[in-house]
Amino acid sequence: MNKPLLPLFALALTSTLAGCTEPVSPGAQAALTLSNSVQLSAAGKATTPEKITPVRITFPDSRSYSAVPPAFHPKTCQLSSSHFAAEVKIPGEVNLPSYGTKTPPMRVRCISEQFEFDETIKPVNLTQQAYSAAAAAHVLVGYGLVGAAVTASQASQRDKSQDIYGYPLKIELQ
């Protein structure tokens, strides 16, 4: 009587593991180019960027930009590091250079009549973040702990020298 359950269990396990694919690293789909507003400094030109990553700068999702009073609207934000400078409209997206583990911190400065955001953003391991997000998605979507375990196993066995570093893909002005 238990024999018919074995093929069903194998089928269920196979279909669960089929959904456990390796997460795609940010910027792996197509080669991006630097945004026109990004000006590389001498240090930025001396070191060739390893990757170009898109960064979205916006207000938190809980607040609609149109709901923010105009006095709080910064029209642009200035981004600066030892390797580049840029200006981006808010909300907006900019393609920034990534220099791997040598990506320098970036200052983000946005000012309006009644609002000021001035923070230094440290680079992050985008590959590790992609694996973490995939593991969390597997638990939430229904692949459960098996899917999360498979993703964690893939993450631990990857070649960490190939990890992509850069700035967070989304910077929220708070």
> What's the count of helices (H) and strands (E) in the chain, helices before strands?
4, 10
Amino acid identity, position 109? R
Render pLDDT for 78-108 as a digit per residue (tens, 0 to 9).
999 999 999 999 889 999 999 999 999 999 9
Query: How far is 33 from 97, CA to CA, in rounded Å?
Result: 9
pLDDT band per the 50, 70, 90 thresholds, residue 53: very high
The percent of residues above 90 in pLDDT, for the chain, comes to 40
- The token pair at 171 is 């910077």
Per-domain boundaries in the chain:
26-124+167-172
Residue 2 CB-half CA count within 13 A? 0
Is the preceding omega at residue 70 within 30 degrees of 0, hence cis? no
pTM of the model: 0.67
Stretch 63-77: mean pLDDT, rounded? 73
Most confident stretch, 7-11, 21-25, 72-76, 128-132? 72-76
